[in-house]
Structures are given as structure tokens and as C-alpha cells.
Amino acid sequence: MQFFNRTEDCAAQCALVFGGGIAQWRDCPLLELLRWTDRAYRAATQEDEK
């Protein structure tokens, strides 16, 4: 799993990939935020490979 150094980085990555703004992601529980961050990272890197 790919994670970022700070929760703000996680929230920013999720907002960039999935939308909704950073505030929405900031309110997620940590474990849920980390799961979504991993999904966001995978989605972003798959798009880059195409």
C-alpha cells in the first residue's frame, strides 16, 4: 500500500482523484482515509501508465 507522510497529503490526494474537496476527506477516520488514499494512488498511477 502506498501512503503519504501526513494526513493532509492523504486528504489532498483523495480530493484530487475523487473530488469533493479536502475538508470532506479531512473528516474521515484515519483508517478509512488511508484506505481511500491507497485507492486514489492506485487509480492515479494506473491512469499514468496508460
pTM of the model: 0.76
Per the domain annotation, does 47 fall within a domain? Answer: no
Residue range 1-50, pLDDT digits in tens: 455 668 889 999 999 999 989 999 989 999 999 999 999 999 988 866 65
User: What gap in Å lies between CA 43 and CA 2, rounded to an integer?
Assistant: 12
| Contact of 36 with 18, CB cutoff 8 Å | yes
Per the domain annotation, does 50 fall within a domain? Answer: no
Per the domain annotation, does 15 fall within a domain? Answer: yes
Amino acid at residue number 21? G
Per the domain annotation, does 1 fall within a domain? Answer: no
Per the domain annotation, does 20 fall within a domain? Answer: yes
According to the model, what pLDDT value does residue 6 have? 87
User: What gap in Å lies between CA 49 and CA 19, rounded to an integer?
Assistant: 21
| Contact of 44 with 17, CB cutoff 8 Å | yes
Counted domains in the chain: 1
According to the model, what pLDDT value does residue 48 have? 62
**Whole domain around residue 13: which residue ranges?**
7-42
